Amino acid sequence: MSLSDFLQRATSRWMKDGGPEDDIILTSRIRIARNLQGLPFPILQTDTHADEVIRAVQEAVAAEAVAKVGKFEFIRCASLSPLDRQVFVEKHLISPDLAEAEKHGAIALRDDEAISIMVNEEDHLRIQCIMPGLRLEDAWHLASAVDDALEQSLLYAFHEKFGYLTACPTNVGTGIRASVMMHLPGLVLSGNIQRMLTAVSHVGLAVRGMYGEGTESNGSLFQVSNQVTLGETEEEIIGNLSSVVHQLIDHERAARKALLQENREALEDRVCRSFGILAYARRMDSRETLQRLSDVRLGIDLGILKGVSSGILKELMVMTQPAFLQKYFHEELAPGERDIRRAMLVRERLRLDDTEVR
Amino acid sequence: MLCQKCHERQANVHVNKIVGGKMSATHLCEQCAKENGDFLTQFAAGNPFDFNHLLSGLLNMESSPGVSPPGVVAPAQCSTCGMTYGQFTKIGRFGCPDCYDHFAVRLDPLLRRIQSSTTHTGKVPAKSGERVKQRKTLEQFRREMQEAIASEQFERAAELRDKIRELETQLSE
């Protein structure tokens, strides 16, 4: 299979399509946690409990109400190979925790992969909607529609005072986690990022690396999300996050402009150097790949590089992850071997574009 | 900031050492810091800064003497799933939805610390929300019935009793 065919088939909508502010915002994500009344949370689940949850969700997903929101496939984690589960993690469709829940976990996935419903992760259900660019409201409306459709067949654990009950009290209430993945190379290069991120954390938002909790940031990619889930409405939570994100976008744009004016040569050198390495290197670890891709993407956004598709960062940051690489090359690869194949894949991908370095 | 050792990668490990009253700062990338090794060991072992530890830290703070509200005796165990409050403070996760009611008295101070308030104001599910509303009405009717009996308005009390029965059957469905 050619690389372009593979890309067409293996990528999710969010990896291919653009959206508002997508020079800075890669994706918007909404995740809502729900639990079923009368059953222990997954942490105390027996096999019977887990099956009960899976059966109930599977039936709910198959019902007509959910069919109106899209075509879903229901998959038990046990039926997936560890490699396939890891590919789902790398595509942000499921969490690393669910990938490990081999026995009790399941996933309902809409055909365009914009919606995934994780079953028996930390909570019975985690409905996730992911969209390219800054589209938090759209993602919320879609996730909420799936939630409403599911609720027609499921009885949720809902408390008059505490709202939707969740295994962890940090999710109780709305159960919502809204997050955006931002590419902020301007703020990183100009040395302003730490100040910005500290300010962000002071207004009740969390900043994380690209694969969520506990992961470090790399390639100037940051995930900003709400912390508070109780006491504010979903709209307020999303509104707060949006307004902070808009401010970060303004700062990032200003930083890029200043870099271009004051350090044009250094910036062009960095961008072109990274492009050269991506286009010719024979071994690349994932960390360097991400950093170089981030530079190239910045170069595209600032008009330094022409002809390279701007989706390249989003596409390759997922495609060059270990499981995806092994999926593409159809074989198990040791870490050292991965670096060689990763460089190969990146070179191949860059050749699909008609690049022109200005 | 670039790593002071390899001068290639971003420095993301920052070490401040104070020796003999003099402070020195070292900025390294993760790889070089790993190679440097010595001062990293204290962070690597068991990673004590993960989220669960932070949360259980908060929980334990609350249960420490002098901080918990006086006169409040919280149940030690959830009668539905058997999770004890001690277990909860260790893992930071509840065992079942009923834990919220069983541990309700201890929950408010915790929620005030980790959330912006203790009361949900967002979305209400259509079906489960309807049940919540019905339960509220049921409690209201029960109170009114007691009042009616106390003031010897027996006709009114009988009316309320029928309404209560109707609601009870609906809720038990």
Give the model's pLDDT for residue B40: 40
Give the model's pLDDT for residue B35: 61
Residue of A252, A232, A54 lying closest to A134 (CA atoms): A252
Across the strands, what pairs with B15? B26
- Residue in B with minimal Cα distance to A193: B1
Higher model confidence: residue B143 or residue A41?
A41
Give the model's pLDDT for residue B137: 84
For tokens 């159809």, the residue is A330
Top residue of A122, A159, A226 to mutate, by most chain B CBs within 10 Å, is A159
Q: What single-letter DSSP state applies at residue B77?
A: B
Query: Which H or E element spans position B17?
Result: strand B13-19
Convert the pLDDT of each residue in B25-56 to its tens digit. Answer: 778 777 777 665 444 433 333 444 455 566 66
The answer to whether A30 and A125 are in contact (CB under 8 A) is no
The answer to whether B17 and B23 are in contact (CB under 8 A) is yes
- Residue in A with minimal Cα distance to B116: A231
Q: Which amino acid is at A207?
A: V
Query: Which H or E element spans position A145?
Result: helix A136-151
Give the sign of the dihedral formed by CA A14, CA A92, CA A56, CA B95: negative
The answer to whether A146 and A129 are in contact (CB under 8 A) is yes
Query: What is the interface size between A and B, counted as CB pairs within 8 Å?
Result: 133
Strand order in the sheet with A25-34: A72-76, A106-110, A115-119, A125-132, A25-34, A176-183, A221-226, A205-208
Residue A290 in domain: yes
Minimal CA separation from A269 to chain B, in Å: 15
Regions of chain B with pLDDT less than 50: 37-49, 62-70
pLDDT bracket for residue A281 (50, 70, 90):
very high
pLDDT over 50 (residue A271): yes
- First-residue to last-residue Cα distance in chain B: 64
pLDDT over 80 (residue A91): yes
Convert the pLDDT of each residue in A235-266 to its tens digit. Answer: 999 999 999 999 999 999 999 999 999 999 99
Give the model's pLDDT for residue B27: 80
Minimal CA separation from A6 to chain B, in Å: 32
Give the model's pLDDT for residue B51: 57
Give the model's pLDDT for residue A169: 95
Residue of A67, A57, A58, A66 lying closest to A36 (CA atoms): A57
Residue A6 in domain: no
Return d(Cα A78, Cα A307) in angstroms, integer: 43
- Residue in A with minimal Cα distance to B117: A231
Count Cα atoms within 13 angstroms, Cβ side, for B161.
Answer: 9
Transcribe B19-65 into DSSP letters.
Answer: ETTEEEEEEE-HHHHHHH-GGGHHHHTT-TTSHHHHHHHHHHHHHST
Cβ-defined contact of B100 to A165 (cutoff 8 Å): yes
The answer to whether B83 and A44 are in contact (CB under 8 A) is yes
Residue A117: C-alpha distances to residues A92, A94, A165, A179 (Å):
12, 8, 17, 17
Q: What single-letter DSSP state applies at residue A171?
A: S
Residue A90 in domain: no
Convert the pLDDT of each residue in A156-181 to its tens digit. Answer: 999 989 999 999 999 999 999 999 99
- Residue in A with minimal Cα distance to B88: A168
Cβ-defined contact of A162 to B120 (cutoff 8 Å): yes
Higher model confidence: residue B34 or residue A213?
B34
The answer to whether A250 and A258 are in contact (CB under 8 A) is no
Domain count for chain A: 1
Minimal CA separation from A164 to chain B, in Å: 8
Transcribe A203-269 into DSSP letters.
Answer: TTEEEE-TTSTTPPPBTTEEEEEE---SSS-HHHHHHHHHHHHHHHHHHHHHHHHHHHHHSHHHHHH
Residue numbers in B near A148 (CB within 8 A): 126
Q: What single-letter DSSP state applies at residue B69?
A: P
For tokens 């969490």, the residue is A95
- Residue in A with minimal Cα distance to B134: A160
Cβ-defined contact of A37 to B128 (cutoff 8 Å): yes
Residue numbers of the domain that contains A334: 263-357
Return d(Cα B47, Cα B126) in angstroms, integer: 42
Top residue of B50, B120, B124, B137 to mutate, by most chain A CBs within 10 Å, is B120
The answer to whether A159 and A179 are in contact (CB under 8 A) is no
Mean pLDDT of chain A: 91
Residue A195 in domain: no
pLDDT bracket for residue A138 (50, 70, 90):
very high
Minimal CA separation from B153 to chain A, in Å: 31
Residue A314 in domain: yes
Top residue of A189, A190, A230 to mutate, by most chain B CBs within 10 Å, is A230
Cβ-defined contact of A44 to B111 (cutoff 8 Å): no
* pTM over 0.90, yes/no: no
Report domain extents, chain B.
13-49, 53-115, 129-172
| Contact residues of B toward A, CB < 8 A | 1, 9-10, 12, 30, 50-51, 55, 81, 83, 91-97, 100-101, 107, 110-111, 114-129, 132, 135-136
Higher model confidence: residue B117 or residue A128?
A128
Give the model's pLDDT for residue A352: 82
Residue numbers in B near A38 (CB within 8 A): 97
